[in-house]
């Protein structure tokens, strides 16, 4: 599938647990960042499970009615594109997929109304957070996914090139004390491959970090493996690390 812009489209918290291979019980008492949060319900689900979560997205500057309108428009637009997509398995249940986005939106709007402080307007590659201020940092459906089409992503725009990915990954690592998980780490094709930028990004990790691909069982209509990239600090961050941008 191809898209002309980044869509304001969000998955449910349950979807996020599946594609990040995440068990919230492991993170109780810890701080989690979900960037981009989009109109997704991960932060609401995490809080309900006793995990402090902050969602960050550039569109969180918009009002609730604007966010809702933007999401509904983008879901309709994306579903039109998806229906024509050669990357989609014919048996994939598109109605169920769309329904999940609507459920995520409802939960997102309710949670954001009740806990506005958990939703921060911010854009990669410069986040307004202190170094190592989250234990776990999650990033779904932006890196790799929105690489240009020629590079294995779905974007018709050139903006999220390899240099942008290097800077975005460095920023996700900077704000994390322990782990960063990124999904997808594969190309957007009917038969996905590991995204070609995984290797250069792993080769350029800062000291103290190690990364590996992990298989997931999340089904978004592809045929074949759909890995997640998991990065772990094996050396604790220094207390005088780099400051927030
Ligand atoms: C397809 S949604 C993904 C939302 C959610 N993480 C998920 O997996 O469903 C992509 C999101 O990226 C946000 N976005 C666009 N540019 C961004 C940037 N430079 N930094 C962070 N988020 C960005 C968009 O506003 C949109 O909400």
Q: Which pLDDT tens digits describe the chain residue by residue (245 residues)? A: 788 889 999 999 999 999 999 999 999 999 999 999 999 999 999 999 999 999 999 999 999 999 999 999 999 999 999 888 888 888 999 999 999 999 999 999 999 999 999 999 999 999 999 999 999 999 999 999 999 999 999 999 999 999 999 999 999 999 999 999 999 999 999 999 999 999 999 999 999 999 999 999 999 899 999 999 999 999 888 765 544 44
Q: Please tell me the residue having the least CA distance from ligand 1 atom 24.
A: 8
* Binding-site residues, ligand 1, Cβ < 6 A: 6-11, 35-36, 38, 40, 57-59, 123-124, 140-142
Cα 151 to Cα 177: distance, rounded to the nearest angstrom:
30
Rounded to the nearest angstrom, the distance between the alpha carbon of 3 and the centre of ligand 1 is 13
Cα 8 to Cα 165: distance, rounded to the nearest angstrom:
20
Q: CB of 22 within 8 A of CB of 181?
A: yes
User: Looking at ligand 1, which atom is closest to the CA of residue 59?
Assistant: 25
Pick the CATH number of 13-233 from 3.40.50.150, 3.40.50.720, 3.10.129.10, 3.40.605.10: 3.40.50.150
User: Looking at ligand 1, which atom is closest to the CA of residue 183?
Assistant: 8
Among 12, 18, 19, 57, name the best residue to mutate to test ligand 1's pocket (greatest count of ligand atoms within 8 A of Cβ).
57
Of how many residues is the chain composed?
245
Residues 6+ apart with CB under 8 A from 22: 16, 138, 181
Q: Please tell me the residue having the least CA distance from ligand 1 atom 12.
A: 36
- What are the DSSP calls for 38-72, one per residue? TT-SHHHHHHHTT-EEEEE-GGGGS-HHHHHHHHH
Q: Please tell me the residue having the least CA distance from ligand 1 atom 9.
A: 10
Among 38, 41, 167, 170, name the best residue to mutate to test ligand 1's pocket (greatest count of ligand atoms within 8 A of Cβ).
38
Residues 6+ apart with CB under 8 A from 60: 37, 67, 119, 120, 121, 122
User: Looking at ligand 1, which atom is closest to the CA of residue 160?
Assistant: 19
| Strands 176-183 vs 228-233: parallel, antiparallel or unpaired | antiparallel
């Amino acid at each position: 599938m191809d898209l002309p812009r980044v869509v304001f489209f969000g998955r449910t918290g349950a979807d996020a647990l599946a594609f990040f291979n995440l068990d919230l019980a492991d993170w109780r008492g810890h701080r989690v960042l979900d960037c981009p949060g989009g109109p997704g319900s991960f932060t609401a689900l995490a809080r309900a499970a006793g995990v402090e979560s902050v969602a960050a997205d550039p569109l969180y500057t918009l009002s609730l009615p604007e966010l809702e309108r933007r999401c509904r428009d983008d879901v309709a637009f994306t579903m039109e594109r998806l229906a024509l997509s050669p990357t989609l398995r014919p048996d994939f249940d598109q109605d169920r997929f769309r329904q999940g986005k609507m459920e995520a939106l409802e939960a997102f709007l309710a949670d954001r109304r009740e806990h506005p402080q958990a939703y921060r307007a911010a854009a990669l590659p410069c986040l307004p957070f202190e170094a190592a201020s989250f234990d776990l940092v999650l990033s779904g459906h932006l890196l790799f996914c929105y690489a240009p089409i020629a590079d294995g992503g779905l974007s018709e725009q050139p903006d999220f090139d390899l240099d942008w990915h290097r800077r975005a990954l460095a920023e996700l690592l900077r704000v994390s004390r322990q782990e960063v998980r990124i999904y997808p780490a594969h190309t957007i094709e009917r038969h996905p491959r590991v995204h070609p930028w995984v290797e250069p990004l792993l080769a350029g990790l800062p000291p103290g970090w190690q990364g590996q691909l992990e298989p997931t069982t999340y089904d978004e209509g592809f045929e074949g493996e759909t890995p997640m990239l998991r990065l772990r600090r094996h050396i604790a961050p220094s207390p005088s690390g780099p400051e927030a941008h």
